[in-house]
A and B are shown apart, each in its own frame.
Chain A
Amino acid sequence: MPHQGADTVTTTDLHQRDDGELIEVILHAARHGDVEAMTRTAAEVSDMTRNWAAHIPWDDFAALDRSGADGELAQIVADLTEMWEPAHLHSPVDPDEEYALDKNAYDFYRPAGRNLLARTEDFYGWVQARRRTETWQYSRVLEAAPDSVAQITNDLGRRTRGINFNSQDYLSFNTHPAIREAATRAMRDYGPHSAGSPMVLGNTRISDELEVALGELVGLEHVTLFPTGWAAGFGAVVGLVRQSDHVLIDRLAHSCLQQGARAATRNVVRYEHLNVEAVRQHLVDIRSHDTRNGILVVTDGLFSVDADWPDLVTLQRVCREHDATLLVDVAHDLGSMGPGGTGVLGMQNLLGEVDIVMGAFSKTFCSNGGFVASNSPALKQYVKMFGGSHFFSNALSPVQTAVVREAARIIRSPEGDELRARLFTAIHALRDELTGRGLTCMGEPSPIVPLLIGNEKLARTANRLLFDRGVLAFMVEFPVTPTGSSRFRLQVQAGHGPEEAREAARIIEGAIADSRAYLSSAFGSAPR
């Protein structure tokens, strides 16, 4: 019976029963083997539904075995029930697990209500659900000095030990005797406290020596120290940029730079990651209507969760062509890669050539702290005065300063070359083993090996498995990465042996495969 014709559709009775009601009648009849009623009612079901549910033998109900012996009636009942019963009723889930896996931190960014204390409760409820399901990757603590292996406790108090890709100590300085000796000596000579802002009396002679050493490393003579890397980035941007100025910033640049830009001006353009041509176009745009104000172009050197870097030669040239100033954050690459530890700048022959360079000591230099460097003594004095995080913070402690100075010395010595060579042997071993197992390492070989996962649920459950399998890997998700683009950030150290790295890669692959099976997920890891 050709029931789908246009003619029959247009003569449809407006007050016909709707399909849900008809299907209930059919179900009732099917349960009683009343194939006549089924057939009669099926003729009333809309063509839309009949064409949609092509697996139901609408036209053949009359031929069914009413005894149900062949199972066909039962199959029809099952199929129709599936169509008209809310599907979640058949597959109950653990509400904690669902809640923990389904949300991301941004969901709690703008809480409602006038009570600032009370309105943090929603977020806390989510944190607790993630803790209960052991998918909260934050706030783990070390039980001993982190080396290539570390012993940690998660925030439920559970302990584990594993190959450690969670510590940012690229050249393994934390256990280096000379570094420890420098710390001890500074402690003896100056005590633990800097006791003041660097603008007052917080600095020591070691601070001056450190500024000189850093200046030599990046080829820029005038260096200012900051209490943290975050303070250096934030301070440099808010120190220089005023409300009428412009900031062009790589979409993925570090949070301290993004937040500095937002604090300094509303004229912020986030350009496509690494796209120098986009920068040029934005500069042309801005200069076409504003020839009076400054433009700060901001990028990372080595990007901290993508492991790639921009063409700084062209970027610096484009900036000069449009009277813009370039700021490059070398937090992750300085010391750990490039000729003589000069990082991405040295790799692109740009030592001494970039307008402003900032960095952090917390990745390779074995301490807190950061710096801003340029060729201009005037810029140095200006940033010290107007980048609030320098003036209004206690200076780096003498111990920290001494550690960083010693780290800078080793970085520039032959021993530094040797440590970097060992680091890169481990990096290649890790990347090759992961890639060989069909996983996607993002970016270029560097101390950061981002292993793309994508889906947050997959990343969170894989991370939960890894905790007990002997690999410590930091899972990054929103707000560090965009939604749907989570990954493991594996931070390699010179102390990692290549076999250790390969073993870790095998374990990671197993955890991802198991968690994919747990979630029954068919998505792969290709980006687009």
Chain B
Amino acid sequence: MYDAIVVGARCAGASTALLLARQGHRVLVVDRSSFPSDVISTHFLWPHGMSYLNRWGLLDQVTAVTPTHTTIDIVNDGIRLTGSVPTDLLREHFRDLHGDDSGVVQSYASVRRRVLDEILVEAAAKAGAEVRTNFTVRELIVSDGRVVGVRGRAADGQVFEERARIVVGADGRNSFVARALDLPKYDERPRCTFAYWSYWSGFDLGSGQIHRRGRLGCAVVPTNFAQNMVLVWGPSEWSREFRADVPGNTQRALDFVSPELGEVVRTRGTREERIYGTLDQSAFLRPLHGPGWVLVGDAESAKDQCTAIGMTHAFRDAELVSAALGRWLTGETSIDESMAAYEGRRRSQNAAAYYDYVCTFAEMRPYRHDELQLFVALRGNQEETDRFIATHADVAPVSEFFQASNLFLLNDAAKESSAGYAVFDDFAATSRMYQQNLFA
């Protein structure tokens, strides 16, 4: 009998197992994969994601093999904003969500999952969690309407049955736990992006670059093995045409969004792997918990990759749920109180506002005139640029940036005019052109 069985041993699962085991609980964590291995992921960690790793004592292991930076370039229709997530906002974020602000770091990184997930799994094992890989859960054991354990099959075909006081579903968007429980989806947002990416060597641009133009985006971020993760994305309704020629259209998208990046990749880059892709990204929420089970990470709420927040949110869930479960497992609170505390944080108004922000962003509509004007107004206003980046990354609440009096003040404080940007020359014609499927 375990205190907890965690299904899924990646960002959400291994971290939850690690934190529960460190509290002294008996934890079993299982995954159908073995490690190291990759999984569909755009594998970006924002500074709060890195801060979680630091709080858990794992950051050094990651940064030893992964390039990190603190400033990031966000370029929309040629309007470049350069900034970083401010430490005070990071602190506030951790105080608000977790009640303490220790271990905050300002850096971000792109970490391959075959690197990161293995570090997490090893740390969970070292903390005392029992880790079983190549283990496929086939069934939840339910008794009196309550989940009490799992049955499954190991790599050698042997069948296992294990029981626990709680089963944590940390098995991602396509969660088996959620499917087995036949959980409904809420707040579904079918509009999402298609994303294609691979790994290129041969150039080093320093910090990360995120570009947007029209309905397409691209990012180039240095990652492990002296490579760059090069990612392009666009509205899922263009995906069929994109797929007709994945390598060709990847380059076309790069050239369209940022001719400079397109040129660097074309002339200096060597692609080291095949191109990966997905458009399985429509957003939803699932019920968070029920008798004998609780969900974390993508299993409880999956969102589009367009703000690259999934792994950071998985870490956040792991801290929240392990703190809540810990109070229950030690008898400090009832399970209902503990789950209500977790739910309060995860289904809050701030969370709803950010969810809306991501889902709207994921529709990949061309930027409106007022949005581009806002980016121009932000140039030269470092404090508000940084706050915008923090808002985009879900460090600062959406409601504090997108507030009338703030937006009007930004306008008033603008140091630059739109005169220097080509997109404003004939905005209506440009917008119409942006609606055309580039790959048709």
Q: Which residues of B contact A112 (CB under 8 A)?
A: 369, 424, 427-428, 431
Nearest Cβ distance between residue A33 and chain B, in whole angstroms? 24
* Interface residue from B187, B286, B402, B406 paired with A519 (Cβ < 8 Å): B187
B186 touches A520 (CB 8 A): yes
* Interface residue from B349, B368, B403 paired with A525 (Cβ < 8 Å): B349
The answer to whether A47 and B174 touch (CB under 8 A), given A111-B370, A251-B405, is no
Nearest Cβ distance between residue A256 and chain B, in whole angstroms? 12
The answer to whether A522 and B404 touch (CB under 8 A), given A268-B409, A528-B97, is no
B287 touches A83 (CB 8 A): no
Residue A378, interface by CB 8 Å: no
The answer to whether A48 and B356 touch (CB under 8 A), given A86-B237, A90-B190, A251-B405, is no
A106 touches B276 (CB 8 A): no
Residue of B nearest to A85 (CB): B279
Q: Which residues of B contact A454 (CB under 8 A)?
A: 349, 352-353
B-contact 0/1 string along A80-124, CB 8 Å cutoff: 001110111111000000000010001111111100000000000
Residue of A nearest to B186 (CB): A522
Residue of B nearest to A268 (CB): B409
* Interface residue from A5, A51, A251, A485 paired with B40 (Cβ < 8 Å): A51
* Interface residue from A16, A49, A456 paired with B278 (Cβ < 8 Å): A49
A527 touches B404 (CB 8 A): no
Docked Cα-Cα span, A342 to B354, in Å, equals 41
Residue A482, interface by CB 8 Å: yes
With most chain A CB atoms within 10 A of its CB, the pick from B114, B271, B373 is B114
Residue of B nearest to A456 (CB): B356
B276 touches A523 (CB 8 A): no
Docked Cα-Cα span, A527 to B406, in Å, equals 20
Residue B39, interface by CB 8 Å: yes
Residue of A nearest to B236 (CB): A86
Docked Cα-Cα span, A479 to B411, in Å, equals 15
A4 touches B37 (CB 8 A): yes
A88 touches B276 (CB 8 A): no
B186 touches A54 (CB 8 A): no
Which B227-278 residues have a C-beta within 8 angstroms of A?
236-237, 239-240, 243, 246, 271-278
The answer to whether A19 and B353 touch (CB under 8 A), given A54-B171, A520-B186, is no
The answer to whether A48 and B38 touch (CB under 8 A), given A266-B413, A528-B97, A528-B350, is yes
B352 touches A455 (CB 8 A): yes
Q: Which residues of B contact A519 (CB under 8 A)?
A: 187
Which one of B16-24, B124-132, B206-214, B340-348 contacts A? B340-348
Nearest Cβ distance between residue B394 and chain A, in whole angstroms? 12
Docked Cα-Cα span, A107 to B409, in Å, equals 16
Residue A14, interface by CB 8 Å: yes
B190 touches A18 (CB 8 A): no
Q: How many residues of A contact B (CB 8 A)?
A: 75
Residue of A nearest to B359 (CB): A102
B399 touches A485 (CB 8 A): yes
Nearest Cβ distance between residue B377 and chain A, in whole angstroms? 9
Nearest Cβ distance between residue B363 and chain A, in whole angstroms? 8
Residue A524, interface by CB 8 Å: yes
Nearest Cβ distance between residue B298 and chain A, in whole angstroms? 10
Residue of A nearest to B238 (CB): A86
* Interface residue from B287, B348, B356 paired with A524 (Cβ < 8 Å): B348
Residue of B nearest to A105 (CB): B404
* Interface residue from A6, A46, A266, A484 paired with B356 (Cβ < 8 Å): A484
Q: Which residues of A contact B186 (CB under 8 A)?
A: 520-522
Residue of A nearest to B281 (CB): A87
Which B384-440 residues have a C-beta within 8 angstroms of A?
397-400, 402-409, 412-413, 424, 427-428, 431
Residue of A nearest to B407 (CB): A106
Residue A483, interface by CB 8 Å: yes
B187 touches A523 (CB 8 A): yes
Residue of A nearest to B288 (CB): A522
Nearest Cβ distance between residue B200 and chain A, in whole angstroms? 11
The answer to whether A266 and B97 touch (CB under 8 A), given A19-B276, A86-B239, A110-B369, is no
The answer to whether A452 and B349 touch (CB under 8 A), given A47-B38, A51-B33, A528-B96, is yes
Q: Which residues of B contact A270 (CB under 8 A)?
A: 405-406, 409
* Interface residue from A84, A258, A268 paired with B280 (Cβ < 8 Å): A84
Docked Cα-Cα span, A21 to B274, in Å, equals 13
Docked Cα-Cα span, A359 to B271, in Å, equals 67
A interface majority secondary structure: loop
Residue A12, interface by CB 8 Å: yes
B-contact 0/1 string along A171-183, CB 8 Å cutoff: 0000000000000
Q: Which residues of B contact A259 (CB under 8 A)?
A: 408
Residue B172, interface by CB 8 Å: yes
A14 touches B271 (CB 8 A): yes
B174 touches A262 (CB 8 A): no
Q: Which residues of B contact A252 (CB under 8 A)?
A: 405
Residue B52, interface by CB 8 Å: no
Q: Which residues of A contact B246 (CB under 8 A)?
A: 18, 20-21
B370 touches A20 (CB 8 A): no
Which A62-96 residues have a C-beta within 8 angstroms of B?
82-84, 86-91
* Interface residue from B33, B176, B274, B347 paired with A18 (Cβ < 8 Å): B274
Residue B332, interface by CB 8 Å: no
Nearest Cβ distance between residue A60 and chain B, in whole angstroms? 10
The answer to whether A83 and B402 touch (CB under 8 A), given A21-B243, A54-B171, A268-B409, is no
* Interface residue from B36, B350, B370 paired with A6 (Cβ < 8 Å): B36
B352 touches A55 (CB 8 A): no
Which B66-120 residues have a C-beta within 8 angstroms of A?
96-97, 114
Q: Which residues of A contact B398 (CB under 8 A)?
A: 482-484
Nearest Cβ distance between residue B283 and chain A, in whole angstroms? 9
Docked Cα-Cα span, A314 to B176, in Å, equals 57
Residue A144, interface by CB 8 Å: no
Residue A285, interface by CB 8 Å: no
Q: Which residues of B contact A251 (CB under 8 A)?
A: 403, 405-406
Docked Cα-Cα span, A526 to B185, in Å, equals 21
Residue B44, interface by CB 8 Å: no
Nearest Cβ distance between residue A184 and chain B, in whole angstroms? 41
Docked Cα-Cα span, A47 to B138, in Å, equals 20
Which B322-377 residues have a C-beta within 8 angstroms of A?
343-345, 347-357, 360, 368-370, 373-374
Residue B61, interface by CB 8 Å: no
Residue of A nearest to B179 (CB): A55
Docked Cα-Cα span, A494 to B345, in Å, equals 37
B349 touches A527 (CB 8 A): yes
A9 touches B38 (CB 8 A): yes
Q: Which residues of B contact A482 (CB under 8 A)?
A: 398-400, 402-404
The answer to whether A52 and B278 touch (CB under 8 A), given A47-B37, A110-B373, A523-B355, is yes
Question: Top 6 A-B pairs ranked by shortest CB distance?
Answer: A484-B353, A110-B370, A4-B37, A52-B40, A454-B349, A479-B404
Additional 14 contacts, C-beta under 8 A, given A102-B360, A455-B353, A522-B286: A6-B37, A9-B38, A12-B274, A18-B274, A20-B277, A46-B38, A46-B276, A54-B172, A86-B236, A86-B240, A268-B409, A483-B398, A484-B357, A485-B353
Pick 13 A–B contacts, CB within 8 A, sort by A: A18-B274, A49-B276, A52-B280, A109-B370, A112-B427, A251-B405, A484-B352, A484-B397, A520-B186, A520-B188, A522-B287, A523-B349, A528-B348
Which residues of chain B have a CB within 8 Å of any CB of chain A? 32-41, 96-97, 114, 134, 155, 171-174, 176, 179, 184-188, 190-192, 196, 236-237, 239-240, 243, 246, 271-280, 282, 285-287, 343-345, 347-357, 360, 368-370, 373-374, 397-400, 402-409, 412-413, 424, 427-428, 431
Which residues of chain A have a CB within 8 Å of any CB of chain B? 2, 4-6, 9, 12-16, 18-21, 46-49, 51-55, 82-84, 86-91, 102, 106-113, 249, 251-253, 255, 258-259, 262, 266, 268, 270, 452, 454-457, 478-485, 519-528
